[in-house]
Amino acid sequence: MSNAQPRVILHLDMDAFYASVEQRDQPALRGKPVIVGAPPTQRGVVAAASYEARKFGVRSAMPSVTAGRLCPAGVFVRPRMEVYRSESQAIMALVRELAGERIQQVSVDEAYVEVTNPYSTGDADEVLAQALPLARSLKQIIREQRGLSASIGIAPNKLLAKLASDLEKPDGLTLIRESEKVAFLRPLPVRALHGVGMVTEQNLAQAGLKTVGDLQDYPGDLRALVGSWGPELKRFAFGDDQRPLDLGDDIKSISSENTFLNDTDDRPTLRTCLREQADEIAGKLARRRLAAFTVQVKVRYGDFKTLTRQISVEEPLQEAREIYRLGCWLLAREKLVHRPLRLIGLGVSGLLEAQARQLPLSFG
């Protein structure tokens, strides 16, 4: 092990953020399966779901009609994005006040905080444990001042801190010690590792590598299975992650546009175009190991009038089919194809480093 000062990373993740804000602001909703999104009687999608609704299989980006079928008692609430953004700013201000400025906010309800103390003494496990009182104070002040619960993971790096925050949701606090990280990772599915998406998971499974332990024991060169990312994936399997916090605040997006030779409102043509754009965007997300919270469509008519519409969801998107479905929904909801289009575009923003979907042992 290196003699360098051990890093201490917290990952803060608000619990069912959108739905929890609604339950806080409307006490009658507490304890009920709240679904933030358009009602199932309309062509809409789910932006977020409370833990009570998730027990029925409801998740973000799902069509509202499907959510209504899975959870007949679900209470549908229209999203209030401005309220959620304002709440996020208040929470992050509390985090900065208590934990300092080294914060990488990755979405409205999620952030990494580096609290490494260069003057800490003891081995890595002892240094990490010293962050427990701070994490407890963060959870307490958010509950007292904002009326919301948060889950926090403490670990020596971002990879493990994210996994730790997912373990005991909601209202969880989990510490992964340096000495425990290899054993902790061993039984997890490979999809739990940062950057392992559906395609990579399938490639690894074909080689018989289904758990992180399989990756730890694999004697061959992973580059034969996942290309140049192989050495980093191997390090991740042993819980080693040197990625620094991204403290910049650049707005990032990925988009694709198509200008037609002749203006068209032909639905099959437009759907094919959107599907190809979604595939292109998903490919770029996968290569850069990113996910997105917002999908946007752009249309331009023959008179060059241009409109854009967007939707944000609580859980990050990576798959082409989800991006395509939301793009089609935006076109239909806004009735954007009421006349022939000169241009159609699809884009995603609110980007963050891709993470695994929550582990089976998680509550949400």
- The domain spans of the chain are 185-237, 253-353
Is residue 166 scored above 90 in pLDDT? yes
* pLDDT for position 3: 52
C-alpha span between 26 and 39 (Å, rounded): 18
156 or 6, which is more confident: 156
In this prediction, residue 358 has a pLDDT band, given cuts at 50, 70 and 90, of: very low
Six-digit token pair at 198? 């559906």
* pLDDT for position 183: 97
User: Which pTM value belongs to this model?
Assistant: 0.76
In this prediction, residue 306 has a pLDDT band, given cuts at 50, 70 and 90, of: confident
Mean per-residue pLDDT over the chain, rounded: 89
> Strand 173-175 relative to strand 150-155: parallel, antiparallel, unpaired?
parallel
In this prediction, residue 279 has a pLDDT band, given cuts at 50, 70 and 90, of: very high
Contact 316, 291 (CB under 8 A): yes
Of 110, 114, 322, 353, the active-site residue reads: 110
- Straight-line distance from the first to the last Cα atom of the chain, in angstroms, rounded to the nearest whole number: 34
Is residue 69 scored above 50 in pLDDT? yes
**CB neighbourhood size of 205 (10 A):** 14
- Judge whether 110 counts as a catalytic residue: yes
Q: Architecture of domain 253-353 in CATH?
A: 2-Layer Sandwich (3.30)
CATH, range 185-237: 1.10.150.20
Average pLDDT over residues 196-210: 89
* pLDDT for position 49: 97
Same fold, 185-237 and 253-353: no
In this prediction, residue 287 has a pLDDT band, given cuts at 50, 70 and 90, of: confident
